[in-house]
Chain A
Amino acid sequence: MSTPTVLDRAADGAAGAAAGLRITPTWSLGSRRAMRLVERNGRVYFRMWVIFVSGFFEPLFYLLSISVGISKLAGPVAGPGGHLISYTAFVAPALMAVSSMNGAVMDATFGVFFKLKFAKVYDAVLATPMDSGDVALGEISWAVLRGGIYSCVFLVVMAGMGLVHSPWAALAVPVSLLEGFGFAAVAMATATYMRSWQDFDFVTLALMPMFLFSGTFYPLSVYPSGLRELVLATPLYQGVAVIRGLDLGSPTWSMAGHCLYLLVMSVAGLMVASRRLERLILK
């Protein structure tokens, strides 16, 4: 039998931290076993790479449309530090946060629902040494990987367009992974409650307004108080605020609060997803 090394666990970052809070006694083996499901998904997507790549383009097209056209109409705006920046520089880091969200949510909802209800993938997986916590962690990690790849490529594109303004932007990568983990975990937990494909309209219904209104395209100062607090509480806003602050070179201590929010989302989503799988399959 194999025991994971300390390195293994440390390498898992947010995933490992979240796994540590699982109630299953075998948690220490979890993070390593969970990677087997990541391998499985990688193998499946290897043959469908077009689908994998396609998910990246939506935020990229937004960025291009803004930098080519919209920014000509919109004047400079006040950035996180207070100084004026171009409109494109304001929106770009927010779109990086959106990339991470999109990439993470897709597989954690549609993918998980399909495997759970139709393909019965987890019925086979749970007959092996893997347990429901491993499955949840594995699927979420996969989704984070996908979201992470999207947001990293996005960051590279931003750099190419001269939209990276500070070395702090390097930290945007781990933050986007944490954000992806939070979204994927909650999305997977939600997917276990879905009854049919129709229910996925609600996912779109939650994501679309969040994408448009979470300070992505304009600062929160346009909102009256009340509405502003509501937007402050959305998960996407957390990612947007931190990634924008880092990219524009004005880190603040409030970022720790946003990260804590995302961490709580990650752990709660992971725990719910794991328990739900157990209830649905291990009857």
Chain B
Amino acid sequence: MFPESPLIQARALTKRFGSFVAVDGIDFDVAPGEAFGFLGPNGAGKTSTMRMIACMSPVSSGTLRILGMDPITDGPNIRRRIGLVPQEDTLDLEMTVLDNLLVYGRYFDLPRKVIRERARRLLDFAQLTDRANDKVDPLSGGLKRRLTIARSLISEPELLLLDEPTTGLDPQARHLLWDRLYRLKQQGVTLIITTHYMDEAEQLCDRLVVMDKGRIAAEGSPRELITRYSTREVLELRFRVDDHAPLAAQLAGLGERIETLPDRLLVYTDDGESAAKSVADRGLDPVASFVRRSSLEDVFLRLTGRTLVD
């Protein structure tokens, strides 16, 4: 399937916590240099999968090979080549911003001089240079997140794992990170990203999987997934009612599919304008009506029955 052998190969990969199955026998490959995404609602098993890839959580059953090695026997050697941005920040709160980078680099056994130089550049990138000597604890959530991201890059990893990296970041910081990730990808770094932001997934991921209840519900590039699971356009309708469900029946036959959300109705069709006309023809009078292109959000809704917003 790939010209080169995959960087990560998972077969029937399973994670159990007691009798609870968090990851239920998933298969996937990630090619070198690829940006690969995991999408899924809360509790889908994304973090559990990421932790297994980071060699921080033993595989319950199935096989997992990372960089051609087995996490059970080669954990330290794999982790040496991985950068991890965990979902929850794990900064060293007893130290300053700069020391967090310096000490973390030492865990990778890097020479102090190299770390110092990298730390300077990373602080610049994270726009934390003027906070370098501040304690970490009182920093705002977004600043801590930026430091966590900077820290993951101190070892110049070949494989970067980002578990909801931009949660808590302001738009400017998000775009800065996207730009950075894009450049890392140009340099051949393999990226694995979980996110709840569809725009992020569409921007960054070459290929992604949608996970639900520990299983993979679909896999493909963002474009492919939209073509496969959605229509070209979506007509969004909002009515002056408390409950949109009864209105769905009156729209029957319009478009390929109708999705009912608490506050609006979505009509999936290849021609939004003519669907909107038909709505008017049927004597319905929505407060708001607009046509947009299908997005990953729609794929997600179709596959998991849930919207992405937590």
Contact: B92 with A36, CB < 8 Å? Answer: no
Tell me, yes or no, whether A222 is within 8 Å of chain B by CB: no
Interface residues on B, range: 20 to 34
Contact of B86 among A33, A127, A129 (CB under 8 A): A127
Interface residues on A, range: 20 to 34
Q: How far is the CB of A135 from chain B (nearest CB, A)?
A: 10
Tell me, yes or no, whether B8 is within 8 Å of chain A by CB: no
Per the 8 Å Cβ criterion, residues 122-151 of A in contact with B are 123-131
Q: How far is the CB of A194 from chain B (nearest CB, A)?
A: 19
**Chain A residues, CB < 8 A from B94:** 44, 119, 121
**Chain A residues, CB < 8 A from B79:** 127-129
CA distance A40 to B93 in the complex (A): 12
Contact: B106 with A129, CB < 8 Å? Answer: no
Contact: B90 with A123, CB < 8 Å? Answer: yes
Known contacts A2-B109, A36-B109, A43-B103; A129 and B58 CB within 8 A of each other: no
Tell me, yes or no, whether A8 is within 8 Å of chain B by CB: no
**Chain B residues, CB < 8 A from A43:** 95, 99, 102-103
Per the 8 Å Cβ criterion, residues 163-205 of B in contact with A are none
**Chain A residues, CB < 8 A from B54:** 127
**Chain A residues, CB < 8 A from B108:** 128-129
**Chain A residues, CB < 8 A from B76:** 26, 29, 33, 129-131
Which partner residue on chain B sits nearest A130 by CB separation?
B107
CA distance A209 to B82 in the complex (A): 49
Tell me, yes or no, whether B17 is within 8 Å of chain A by CB: yes
Q: How far is the CB of A9 from chain B (nearest CB, A)?
A: 16
Contact of A25 among B73, B102, B109 (CB under 8 A): B73
Tell me, yes or no, whether B57 is within 8 Å of chain A by CB: yes
Contact: B84 with A127, CB < 8 Å? Answer: yes
Q: Give 18 CB contacts A-B under 8 Å.
A: A1-B80, A33-B76, A33-B107, A33-B109, A36-B107, A36-B109, A39-B106, A40-B103, A43-B95, A127-B86, A127-B90, A128-B80, A129-B79, A130-B107, A131-B75, A281-B56, A282-B58, A283-B57
